[in-house]
């Protein structure tokens, strides 16, 4: 089945075309991404230190027709017919003015092309994004890598074993779920206040780093000493699967207030960034692994914008493999918001007969 997918939940407009085919015996579906285009608004929102919902809305309205036309052009150039059986669109969670732009655009397309429309949950998109095969790169040197990753992805798509623990970490969410299959899961816990990505963004702002702060902190942390400041590890030892990151963020604020010279030293910023990242990752890794042990998870899935953090990917991979569990994480680019993951989420919703209303739902859960 060919799916045209539209994503506009935050500051990335995404349009994608993918082919999804079911795998026998209840296995994971196999996805082929025909084209996946993302227009990021990061530069625009950077000036304001975060996403401005009405600006995001204006940009999506401007970007969607451009991306749609580009998608058709790119497919034509690759001699792939522009044909689809269904349209998937993100209905939530996210910024409602932004979500509405995608919904309205998708509804107009559904009418024009006389195709069924399915609502997709953005969080399910992140969750399923590990099933997306890595993108083809053009350089000759990477051919071997592509071949290897194709083999790995094929194995991924068919070999995910359950129960699995899923950690969704993004700018708006930090959620742990226990999965019995790709379509059946239980919510274990989430953050009580700030999401992990939000904490990265806010801490970065205190360090005078641009939005989005996650990649900036990660870059700086590489040269810093994580033991410089012992920031708190909120809720690390509490026997639940909830998180809290607002205290960690506040401790960065207090530290900077009490150490006015901290940012002037050569390595000052890098040390604080490294100490902050270590604290946030300690909690994320420890709680995920505790859930994995308690539920006897055979697999651990990491996804969402913060999952593009190499230190987190590396630490969680090492911890899960160290306990003989399988580890699944999407290719880095698919951790950030994109249309392809929405195509998969729409397909899975369609398979299990889940009909999300075509109404922006900012607080839609998983």
**Which residues lie near Zn ion (CB under 5 A)?**
170, 337
Residue 110 as a binder of ligand KG4 (CB under 6 A): the answer is no
Closest CA to 289 of 323, 330, 247, 243: 323
Site for ligand KG4 in 170-209 (CB under 6 A): 170-172, 197-198, 200-201
Residue 323, C-beta contacts closer than 8 angstroms, at least 6 positions apart = 289, 292, 293
Closest CA to 217 of 190, 249, 243, 193: 249
Please tell me the chain's helix, strand, coil percentages from 3-state DSSP, rounded to the nearest 5: 45, 20, 35
Dist. CA 129–CA 126, nearest whole Å? 5
Residue 345 as a binder of ligand KG4 (CB under 6 A): the answer is no
Residue 214 as a binder of ligand KG4 (CB under 6 A): the answer is yes
Dist. CA 152–CA 162, nearest whole Å? 18
Token digits for 198? 């939000």
Nearer to ligand KG4 (CB atom), residue 219 or residue 318: 219
Residue 212 as a binder of ligand KG4 (CB under 6 A): the answer is yes
For residue 43, which phi and psi values (nearest 5 degrees)? -60, -40
Q: In whole angstroms, how close is the CB of 64 to ligand KG4 at the nearest point? A: 18
Nearer to Zn ion (CB atom), residue 121 or residue 170: 170
Nearer to Zn ion (CB atom), residue 166 or residue 224: 166
Token digits for 212? 């989005």
Residue 53 as a binder of ligand KG4 (CB under 6 A): the answer is no
Dist. CA 193–CA 246, nearest whole Å? 6
Site string for ligand KG4, 143-172 (x = CB under 6 A): ---------------------------xxx
Nearer to Zn ion (CB atom), residue 57 or residue 115: 57
Q: In whole angstroms, how close is the CB of 60 to ligand KG4 at the nearest point? A: 14
Closest CA to 346 of 134, 129, 169, 160: 129
Closest CA to 95 of 170, 175, 11: 11
Most distant CA pair in the chain, distance: 63
Tell whether omega for the bond before 160 is within 30 degrees of 0, i.e. cis: no
Residue 330 as a binder of ligand KG4 (CB under 6 A): the answer is no
Nearer to ligand KG4 (CB atom), residue 33 or residue 306: 306
Closest CA to 284 of 333, 249, 326, 241: 241
Give the SS3 label for residue 316: helix
Residue 213 as a binder of ligand KG4 (CB under 6 A): the answer is yes
251 binds, among ligand KG4, Zn ion, none (CB under 5 to 8 A by kind): none
Closest CA to 153 of 25, 334, 345: 334
How many residues of this chain interact with ligand KG4, rule: CB under 6 A?
20
Residue 299 as a binder of ligand KG4 (CB under 6 A): the answer is no
Q: In whole angstroms, how close is the CB of 70 to ligand KG4 at the nearest point? A: 21
Dist. CA 24–CA 101, nearest whole Å? 36
Q: With CB under 6 A as the contact rule, which of the stretches 70-78, 180-188, 210-218, 243-251 interacts with ligand KG4?
A: 210-218
200 binds, among Zn ion, ligand KG4, none (CB under 5 to 8 A by kind): ligand KG4
Dist. CA 41–CA 9, nearest whole Å? 12
Nearer to ligand KG4 (CB atom), residue 34 or residue 173: 173
Q: In whole angstroms, how close is the CB of 129 to Zn ion at the nearest point? A: 9
Dist. CA 311–CA 249, nearest whole Å? 19
213 binds, among ligand KG4, Zn ion, none (CB under 5 to 8 A by kind): ligand KG4
- When binding is defined by CB under 6 A, the residue of 7, 36, 124, 218 that contacts ligand KG4 is 218
Nearer to ligand KG4 (CB atom), residue 92 or residue 172: 172
Nearer to Zn ion (CB atom), residue 35 or residue 337: 337
Residues forming contacts to ligand KG4 in the complex (CB under 6 A) are: 10, 170-172, 197-198, 200-201, 212-215, 218, 304-306, 308-309, 336-337
């Amino acid at each position: 089945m060919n799916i045209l997918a539209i994503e506009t939940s935050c500051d990335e407009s995404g349009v994608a075309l993918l082919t999804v085919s079911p795998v026998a015996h209840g296995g994971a579906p196999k996805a082929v991404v025909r084209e996946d285009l993302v227009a990021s608004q990061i530069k625009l929102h950077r000036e304001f230190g975060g996403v401005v919902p009405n600006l995001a809305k204006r940009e999506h309205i401007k970007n969607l027709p451009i991306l749609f036309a580009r998608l058709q052009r790119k497919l034509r150039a690759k001699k792939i017919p522009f044909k689809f059986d269904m349209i998937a669109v993100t209905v939530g969670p996210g910024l409602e003015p932004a979500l509405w732009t995608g919904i309205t655009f998708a509804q107009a397309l559904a009418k024009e092309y006389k195709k069924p429309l399915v609502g997709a949950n953005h969080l399910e998109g992140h969750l399923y994004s590990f099933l997306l095969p890595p993108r083809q790169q053009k350089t000759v040197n990477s051919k071997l890598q592509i071949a290897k990753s194709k083999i790995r992805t094929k194995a991924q798509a068919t070999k995910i074993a359950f129960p699995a623990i899923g950690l969704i970490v993004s700018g708006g969410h930090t959620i742990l779920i226990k999965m019995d299959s790709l379509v059946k899961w239980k919510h274990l816990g989430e953050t009580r206040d700030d999401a992990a990505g939000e904490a990265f963004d806010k801490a970065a702002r205190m360090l005078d780093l641009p939005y989005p702060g996650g990649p900036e902190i990660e870059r700086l942390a590489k040269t810093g000493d994580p033991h410089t400041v012992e920031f708190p590890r909120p809720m690390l030892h509490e026997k639940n699967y909830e998180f809290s990151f607002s205290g960690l963020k506040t401790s960065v604020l207090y530290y900077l207030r009490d150490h006015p010279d901290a940012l002037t030293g050569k390595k000052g910023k890098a040390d604080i960034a490294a100490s902050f990242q270590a604290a946030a990752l300690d909690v994320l890794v420890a709680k995920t692994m505790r859930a994995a042990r308690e539920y006897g998870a055979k697999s651990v899935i990491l996804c969402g914008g913060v999952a593009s953090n190499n230190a987190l990917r590396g630490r969680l991979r090492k911890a899960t493999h160290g306990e003989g569990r399988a580890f699944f994480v999407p290719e880095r680019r698919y951790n950030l918001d994109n249309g392809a993951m929405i195509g998969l989420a729409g397909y899975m919703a369609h398979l299990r007969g889940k009909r999300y209303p075509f109404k922006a739902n900012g607080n839609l859960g998983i």
